[in-house]
Structure 1
Amino acid sequence: MPRLVRDRLTWVMYVQLALWVYFLYGFGPVAPLLRDELHISRTLAGLHGTAFAAGGIIGGAVLPVLTRRLGRHRLIWIGLGLVCAAAGGMYAAHHLALTLTFTTLGSFGGALSVNAINAALTDHHGNAAPAAISEANAAAAGVGLVAPLIVGATFAAGLGWRFGLVLVVIPVVVVALYARARAVRPPEAAGFGGERAAHRPLPGTFPLALTSLFATGSIEICLTLWGSDVLRDHARVSAGVATAALSTLIAGMVAGRLVGGRLLLRFRPTRMLLVALVVNVAGFALFWSATLPWLAMAGLAVAGLGMGLHYPLGIGLALAHSDGQPDLAAARASFAVGISFAVAPFALGALADRVGPHPAFLLVPLFAAVSAVAILRLDRLTLPDLGTADVAAEGR
């Protein structure tokens, strides 16, 4: 059984990922607030999800070149710097064009950081990489848990949601100073600082992992971007409470990732992802059908329990089936997640404008079914006796 060793570098990368997630989940529930503030439709508000997608897609497109020229270390900090710039810009943005621009910038920076972190964790931890990635995302979700609470609290206090979002700048500066003082640097990718290495074709199993990432990314962005709108529309809670209540979803994600990190050292990632999809759909059904606020929030927590493992398992499988090319796989994964961020919230917003947010949310179990089909196929193509360690090492 692989052993996960958490050294200083591991903890720094955990915190770096968490700072991006603070921005992501701090901004996630404000789409309905922006809709009210800017007097726009749900379709136009859903363009913020599309802007997130554009940033992720652009980041994925340039990631291999930037990784080779700048290295993972610089790329991670440049990405976090762009996230801070986006948070600061959003503080003064009161026009749709500006909010979309800074959303794209933040997502672009996040894509650079998170993909470099995932690739570095894969190289640094070897066979224990799936557990490390899950644990990193658990730590990040723990920070993301407080983000909607802070944003909702500043909104309710009259300071505005932007004040809560821009607070991310302070810990980024603190961690950057610590990493510099202790000379903490991630392992660099093969070919860094040299000629461009020839990429081998990715294995035939890789597109299945990519398909699942697209589908589970669609689930996550729909629930985080529009979950509070359903609480307002169907469970009849106030805007401030609905924004803060999204923390129940993230609390479930934290619990799922903490438990999943341990289980991934014992069980096959494909089987665990299938179980996570079932748990997510069960929680969604409770959330979607409940009219009592506390019951709807309980459903969100259960949905988050399953959803918490979607991304770490999906990216872990993509990197494992990369034939030893984690940076290339991470870049391609950005496209899958980016496209999901583009298509899903816009489609859900457009459908919600026609039939209402509650029935439109039935897109979520449809995405879960797509992911399940892809993972079932991937599981069948994987040798029956492969354990987690073998799956993680399969791409190396």
Structure 2
Amino acid sequence: MRDAPTRLAYATLGCFTFWLYAFGPALTLLRGELQFSYTLLGVYSVLWSGGAALAGAAFAPLARAVPRPALLWSSALATAAGAGLFTLGSGVTPTLVAAGVMGVAGTTLLTVTQAVLSDRHGPRRDRALTEANVGAAACAVVAPLALGALAAGAAGWRVAFALPAVALAVLFWRSRRLVLPVPAGHSTPGGAGSTGRLPLACRLFAALTALATAVEFCLVYFGAEVLVGTGLSTAAAATALGSNYLGLLAGRLAGAALTRRPGRTVPLLYASLAVTVAGFLLFWLTGSAAVAVLGLFVCGVGIANLYPLALALTLGAAPGQEDRANARTQLLGGLVTAAAPSALGVLADAHGLTAGFALEPVLVGASLLLLFAGLRAR
């Protein structure tokens, strides 16, 4: 049921996603201005992801101590402040600090939004999370287009980062008195705040969720650089990266339709991994800009449902401990998405982007193994 808390969670996730997906192409534009290396570009992603890991480590105790509304709006405010520093700061140092702030605050905002949906929808969280990510994918499509359009005009690309802050301010004004669902585990021993060990299946699915994020964000951070190598301008490459996000939107629309009936999560995950591999090979093994853009689109269709469905499996494998399972995915996701793009950046500086992107098939293969092992452990 798309009631008021659900609609608020969907809208808040969309705002965060705009920042998240604007960040990768914004780094390409920032690198064009400041002329830093691929390795330093990787450091930006490390700081964001390190902040995400910190948010994941802190979320479970925060969720026990702070009411959902306070945690939601305070993390939204802090993320907006980080976005302001990223766009208004001058030079490498303040923008690096901003990446870390947005990683911590933005991931807290993401996690509490996911928690609200899990609290509200329980066993059908797979459908709610997939639907939420449809709106998020739409924002992911709009973000690089807005960034590219503003970069080509007099206003400049930085204006785009103000749009989610304005939207969140409107949401706060309209929803500040809204009562959000209370997590069932907060009122029962061993519930959402339990300190017991998470089940093995939950831990394996959390690792799968983290690797799915890494597969996606290696493309987000470095996909535009590959397109520049095919002959596109920096601004055109940042805009063309939107094909990947359009694929995400198409994939999530299909996923939302397919998950209306229960029991389709696992087959859809296997299919998503197969499509991801096919799209990546198109993107990776061509020198043509048109084929690379097509590959990014197909890759987006495949990647689209990996995160929400893997997250649904993670939460479903830890009944009564959803906050801890949610936090574990963000902790692992932060660590893996810090390591993977950083490793890709180092490999790209040493051997070129084509060799660096050999990391992607390794991540997809490991995801497949984790899915299989998690299902066996359930």
Q: Does 1:186 align with 2:170?
A: no
Q: Which amino acid aligns with 1:247?
A: G
CA distance in 1, matches of 2:234, 2:196: 50
Match of 1:313 in 2: 309
Q: Which amino acid aligns with 1:44?
A: L
Task: Quote how far apart the aligned CAs of 1:356 are.
Answer: 1.0
CA distance in 2, matches of 1:150, 1:237: 18
CA distance in 2, matches of 1:27, 1:280: 22
**Cα 1:197/1:312, change in 2 over 3 Å:** closer
Output the TM-score relative to the length of structure 2. Answer: 0.95
CA distance in 2, matches of 1:197, 1:216: 26
On the 8 A contact 2:193/2:323 being kept in 1, the answer is: no
1:213 maps to which of 173, 185, 209: 209
Q: Which amino acid aligns with 1:152?
A: G
Match of 1:150 in 2: 146
On the 8 A contact 2:200/2:374 being kept in 1, the answer is: no
Superposed CA deviations along residues 30-76 of structure 1, whole A, max 9, x for unmatched, are 22222222221100111111011111111112112221222111111
Q: Does 1:251 align with 2:246?
A: yes
On the 8 A contact 2:111/2:326 being kept in 1, the answer is: yes
Task: Quote how far apart the aligned CAs of 1:166 are.
Answer: 2.3
On the 8 A contact 2:193/2:324 being kept in 1, the answer is: no
**Cα 1:124/1:197, change in 2 over 3 Å:** closer
On the 8 A contact 1:31/1:46 being kept in 2, the answer is: no
CA distance in 1, matches of 2:257, 2:129: 11
Task: Quote how far apart the aligned CAs of 1:8 are.
Answer: 1.9
| Structure 2 residue matching 1:205: 3-state secondary structure | helix
2:293 maps to which of 289, 297, 300: 297
Structure 2 gap ranges (5+): none
Q: Does 1:277 align with 2:273?
A: yes
CA distance in 1, matches of 2:71, 2:182: 11
2:11 maps to which of 15, 37, 42: 15
Match of 2:234 in 1: 239
CA distance in 1, matches of 2:100, 2:209: 20
What root-mean-square deviation, in Å, do the aligned CA atoms of Structure 1 and Structure 2 show?
1.8
Match of 1:58 in 2: 54
Match of 2:223 in 1: 227
Superposed CA deviations along residues 264-291 of structure 1, whole A, max 9, x for unmatched, are 2343423221210110110111111232
On the 8 A contact 2:61/2:193 being kept in 1, the answer is: no
Match of 1:88 in 2: 84
On the 8 A contact 2:201/2:375 being kept in 1, the answer is: no
Task: Quote how far apart the aligned CAs of 1:158 are.
Answer: 4.1
Q: Which amino acid aligns with 1:319?
A: L
On the 8 A contact 1:59/1:109 being kept in 2, the answer is: yes
| Structure 1 residue matching 2:67: 3-state secondary structure | helix
CA distance in 1, matches of 2:193, 2:371: 30
Task: Quote how far apart the aligned CAs of 1:94 are.
Answer: 2.3
CA distance in 2, matches of 1:249, 1:68: 37
**Cα 1:60/1:200, change in 2 over 3 Å:** same
Superposed CA deviations along residues 185-213 of structure 1, whole A, max 9, x for unmatched, are 32133438x99954222111122112212
Q: Does 1:46 align with 2:29?
A: no
1:102 maps to which of 95, 98, 101: 98
Match of 2:32 in 1: 36
CA distance in 2, matches of 1:245, 1:340: 26
Q: Which amino acid aligns with 2:236?
A: V
CA distance in 1, matches of 2:235, 2:186: 49
Task: Quote how far apart the aligned CAs of 1:139 are.
Answer: 0.8
Output the TM-score relative to the length of structure 1. Answer: 0.90
On the 8 A contact 1:280/1:305 being kept in 2, the answer is: yes
| Structure 2 residue matching 1:46: 3-state secondary structure | helix
On the 8 A contact 1:203/1:323 being kept in 2, the answer is: no
On the 8 A contact 2:193/2:321 being kept in 1, the answer is: no
Structure 1 gap ranges (5+): 383-396
CA distance in 1, matches of 2:310, 2:226: 27
Q: Which amino acid aligns with 2:280?
A: F
Superposed CA deviations along residues 314-369 of structure 1, whole A, max 9, x for unmatched, are 21111111132111111111111101221011100000001111221121111000
Q: Does 1:338 align with 2:342?
A: no
CA distance in 1, matches of 2:210, 2:139: 24
Match of 1:75 in 2: 71
Q: Which amino acid aligns with 1:55?
A: G
The percentage of aligned residue pairs carrying the same residue is: 33
On the 8 A contact 2:148/2:235 being kept in 1, the answer is: yes
On the 8 A contact 1:38/1:94 being kept in 2, the answer is: no
On the 8 A contact 1:14/1:139 being kept in 2, the answer is: yes
CA distance in 1, matches of 2:357, 2:264: 30
CA distance in 2, matches of 1:16, 1:167: 13
**Cα 1:95/1:377, change in 2 over 3 Å:** same
CA distance in 2, matches of 1:258, 1:364: 24
Q: Does 1:161 align with 2:157?
A: yes
Task: Quote how far apart the aligned CAs of 1:95 are.
Answer: 2.0
Match of 1:392 in 2: none
CA distance in 1, matches of 2:291, 2:200: 43
| Structure 2 residue matching 1:100: 3-state secondary structure | helix
